[in-house]
Amino acid sequence: MSLNGLIIYNGSLYSDKFIDYANMLKESAIKKGHTIHLVKNNEIHSLLKTNELALLSQSPLKSIDYIIFTDKDIYLAHHLEAMGYRLFNSAYATEVSDDKIKSYQILAKKKLPIPKTLIAPKNFINPFENNTKFLNHAIKSFNFPFVIKEAFGSFGEQVYLVHNKSDVENALDKIGYRPFMCQEFITSSYGRDIRLQVVGDDVITTMKRSSEVDFRANITSGGKMDTYLPSEAEKSLAITATKALGLDFAGVDLLFGKNSERVICEVNSNAHIRNLLDCTGVNVADSIIEYIDREVNK
């Protein structure tokens, strides 16, 4: 059966990265013979009534077989699912992978390897003053340097390596009231990680990222990409992490632990697949569309 799909992307972000991702998926869907529309999240409005869930939109939303939800507008994702639409990734999976604290909690519960992490208590006033006891625990648990990481963030921009109390103060100043955690710094992985792209039960392609200028391996922070042949153990860890968070597909970042073990850094529900294409020549969008086609036609 030829499918009718919708790709939802964020309408408020002006970076080309998001529309590029949506367009890559669209091209693959068209190749597969699907009918496909791109819609911005801010062009669909969720209406709730006592007896009805509805959508206010000018886009054609009838007879949609699947929605690829490339955005993080969780309320919209849940609303669409409540109306019966099939989302890839699901609202739950998108929600927990967007929130790094929730992700680590789920991964730890499944006994998967993560950096030792201490979650900051929720604060309503004076974040710095009220965090003194917590920060003392963090300093004792990790020693300097350690990582302060916001629950929500991308491109490495909300991840800080702190070497002393003054770095901590600067990081907390930036973070304000947003949720964050302190985390052991995996020194053996300084500026390096591997990105494995999982779709369903398979690792589709992998790259290694390394930076000579920053502790973060993100390309945006100066990381350089290289092809990488993952071991069976690395593949299996990436697939297990993806499934633990309920994701259909994900870009999984693994750090290099001090005894050559791999440690999960994060699981991205909407990974930047253009970089993977540039580095490895593999178009992950094709695999995602193949997977969706199989799942919806099941």
Ligand X SMILES: Nc1ncnc2c1ncn2[C@@H]1O[C@H](COP(=O)(O)OP(=O)(O)O)[C@@H](O)[C@H]1O
Shortest spacing between CB 189 and Mg ion, in angstroms: 12
Nearer to Mg ion, 127 or 222 (CB): 222
CA distance 190 to 126: 32
- Residue 71 or 286 having the CB closest to Mg ion: 71
Q: Strands, E, within the chain: which ranges? A: 4-9, 35-40, 44-49, 52-57, 66-69, 87-88, 117-119, 146-150, 159-162, 180-183, 192-199, 202-210, 224-227, 249-256, 262-268
Q: Binding Mg ion by CB under 5 A: which of 150, 266, 286, 293? A: 266
φ, ψ (nearest 5 deg) of residue 159: -120, 125
Indicate which of ligand X, Mg ion, none lies near residue 185 (CB less than 5 to 8 Å, by partner kind). Answer: ligand X
Q: Which is nearer to Mg ion, 46 or 103 (CB)?
A: 103
Output the CA–CA distances (angstroms, integers) from residue 2 to 29, 63, 103, 123, 291, in the order listed. 10, 12, 35, 51, 14
When CB distances are held under 5 to 8 angstroms depending on the partner's kind, the choice from Mg ion, ligand X, none that residue 23 binds is: none
Of 193 and 293, which has the nearer Cβ to ligand X?
193
Closest approach of Mg ion to the CB of residue 217, in Å: 8
Cβ distance to ligand X smaller for residue 114 or 292: 114
User: Which partner, Mg ion, ligand X, none, binds residue 153 by CB below 5 to 8 Å per kind?
Assistant: ligand X
Minimum gap (Å) between residue 146 Cβ and ligand X: 8
Q: CB under 5 A: which stretch of 108-116, 241-249, 251-259, 277-285 binds Mg ion?
A: 251-259
User: Cβ closer to ligand X: 5 or 251?
Assistant: 251
How many residues make contact with Mg ion (CB under 5 A)? 2
Nearest to 150 by CA among 101, 102, 218, 193: 101
Whole-angstrom distance, CA of residue 184 vs CA of residue 273: 28
184-193 burial by CB neighbour count: b if 16+ within 10 A, else e?
bbbeebbbbb
Say if CB 53 and CB 79 are below 8 A apart: yes
From the CB of 195, what's the least distance to ligand X, in Å? Answer: 8
For residue 132, the minimal CB distance to Mg ion (Å) is: 29
Q: How far is CA 88 from CA 142, 250, 252, in A?
A: 37, 11, 17
159 binds, among ligand X, Mg ion, none (CB under 5 to 8 A by kind): ligand X
If you search the block for the tokens 């009231």, which residue do you land on?
Answer: 177
Using CA atoms, how far residue 22 sits from 6, 80, 216, 274, 296, in Å, is 10, 18, 26, 11, 19
Interacting partner of 160 out of ligand X, Mg ion, none (Cβ under 5 to 8 A depending on kind): none
Shortest spacing between CB 214 and ligand X, in angstroms: 8
The smaller minimum CB distance to ligand X, of residues 185 and 291, is found at: 185
Nearest to 11, CA basis, from 3, 22, 1, 27: 22
Beta bridge partners of 38: 7
Question: Whose Cβ is closer to Mg ion: residue 162's or residue 194's?
Answer: 194
> Which residues sit at the interface with ligand X, rule CB under 6 A?
115, 147, 149, 153-159, 183-186, 189, 193, 215-218, 253, 255, 265-266
Residue 189: name its binding partner from Mg ion, ligand X, none (Cβ under 5 to 8 Å by kind): ligand X
The footprint of Mg ion (CB under 5 A) covers 253, 266
